[in-house]
Amino acid sequence: MRLMMIGDVFGRPGRRAIKDNVPALIRDENLDLVLANGENAAGGNGITREIAMEIFAAGVDVITMGNHVWNKKEIINFIDRESRIIRPYNYPPGTPGVGYGFFKTRNNETVGVINLSGRVFMPGLDCPFRCADQVVPVLREQTPVILMDFHAEATSEKAAMAHYMDGRVSAVCGTHTHVQTADERILPGGTAFITDVGMTGPYDSVIGVKKEPVLERFLTQLPQKFEPAAGLYQFNAVIIDVRRETGRAAAIRRIQNYE
């Protein structure tokens, strides 16, 4: 089984990258399921229903989220009705939406997906490690093939989660920092891991944002209005091969495409 996880989709350039790259990759790589982190898809902050539908129409099957999940308030009105959008599981009970789900591949096989948010340099949510302990057994009741989007800042927290989950999930894909790391590997227990999948968004930017106000903020320490950059895009993703019978990963490789 072949899965693709796309790094944080940022603004209009990121959505253009999805349209330009995903259909061809599905065809050429024989992808069974495509996931994308969409928490920055609407102008770099949050997601709207219209933009989610645009991403799904391009071939993405599941959208995961992160700490910007609630930045567009309208998501509260549709996230409970859109099962293909997964927000971090470790939000408090009663929060709209769900943190995990089961999804059918193009060959009608079942894949479990879980979204968790880190706590180091991030908003204080429930412990992601204990939350993983709660939900992974539920997912494994239906399928051994499980992909985790761990939306976290600290490299150490992401690596710790991967080792903690080794042998229990098929892949731990880090998101959030918008910089693709070159450490993709298969851990001893058969779990694929990369610290960060990267960003699918404007290439000539500071992690997606226009350079000028960011530089002004660093130089003067004065508040600035950050806006998404325009121009050419980068497309960052990983493709993971998983043994369907055991859920163990067989390979992981990075994708870096540029406009």
DSSP state letters, 28-96: HHT-SEEEEE-TBTTTTS---HHHHHHHHHTT--EEE--TTTTSSTTHHHHTTT-TTEE--TTSPTT-S
Nearest partner of 258 among 227, 241, 237, 229, judged by Cα: 237
Q: Which of 68, 151, 176, 178 is catalytic?
A: 68
In the structure encoding, which two tokens stand for residue 134, read together? 């709660």
Sign of CA dihedral 174, 180, 183, 184: positive
How many Å apart are CA 99 and CA 96, to the nearest integer?
Answer: 10
176 is catalytic: no
CB 198 within 8 A of CB 187: no
CB 195 within 8 A of CB 176: no
Q: Which residue has the tokens 């293909």?
A: 84
CB 113 within 8 A of CB 64: yes
How many Å apart are CA 244 and CA 77, to the nearest integer?
Answer: 36
How many Å apart are CA 174 and CA 155, to the nearest integer?
Answer: 9
The Cβ of residue 75 has, within 10 Å, a number of other Cβ atoms equal to 24
In the structure encoding, which two tokens stand for residue 219, read together? 């130089």
Q: Which residues are catalytic?
A: 68
